[in-house]
């Protein structure tokens, strides 16, 4: 007999559940989605859903071991990327 648990695909989370998983507000996660700075999501009909593996991967980009550790990636703030420009370039 097949193991039922292995036949079930990974669960997809709605925005509120995904935000709770990440420790963010739902609104912050919506802003990340709008600005393209957040985790990968899927649209199924009119619903936005997130895979737990995508949430974990996005959060892991910000992993650090100390304040001087450059880490492996950057988790950008929830704002337009053109707002990240340095004022020194002016």
Distances in Å between the alpha carbon of 44 and those of 41, 49, 50, 58? Answer: 10, 7, 10, 21
pLDDT band at 56 (very low <50, low <70, confident <90, very high): very high
The CATH number, out of the four listed (2.40.128, 3.30.1740, 1.10.10, 1.25.40), of the domain defined by the range 9-63: 1.10.10
The 47-51 sheet, strands edge to edge: 12-14, 47-51, 42-44
Q: What is the pLDDT of residue 88?
A: 43
Instruction: Dump the DSSP string for 15-74.
Output: HHHHHHHHT--HHHHHHHHHHT-S---EEETTEEEEEHHHHHHHHHTT--SSTT---S--
Q: Which residues pair with 80 in a beta bridge?
A: none
User: Over pLDDT 70: what percentage of the chain?
Assistant: 78
What number is the average pLDDT over the span 40-51? 95
What number is the average pLDDT over the span 7-13? 80
Q: What is the pLDDT of residue 78?
A: 81
The structural domains of the chain, with segments of one domain joined by +, span: 9-63
CA gap 72, 15 in Å, rounded? 26
Q: What digits encode the pLDDT tens for the residues 60-79?
A: 988 888 878 776 677 877 88
Does this model's pTM top 0.85? no
């Amino acid at each position: 007999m097949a193991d039922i648990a292995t036949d079930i695909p990974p669960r997809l989370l709605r925005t509120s559940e995904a935000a709770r998983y990440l420790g963010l507000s739902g609104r912050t996660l919506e802003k990340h989605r709008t600005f393209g700075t957040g985790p990968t999501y899927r649209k199924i009909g009119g619903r936005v859903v997130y895979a737990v593996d995508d949430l974990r991967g996005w959060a892991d980009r910000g992993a650090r071991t100390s304040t001087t550790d450059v880490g492996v990636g950057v988790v950008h703030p929830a704002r337009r990327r053109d707002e990240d420009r340095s004022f020194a370039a002016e």
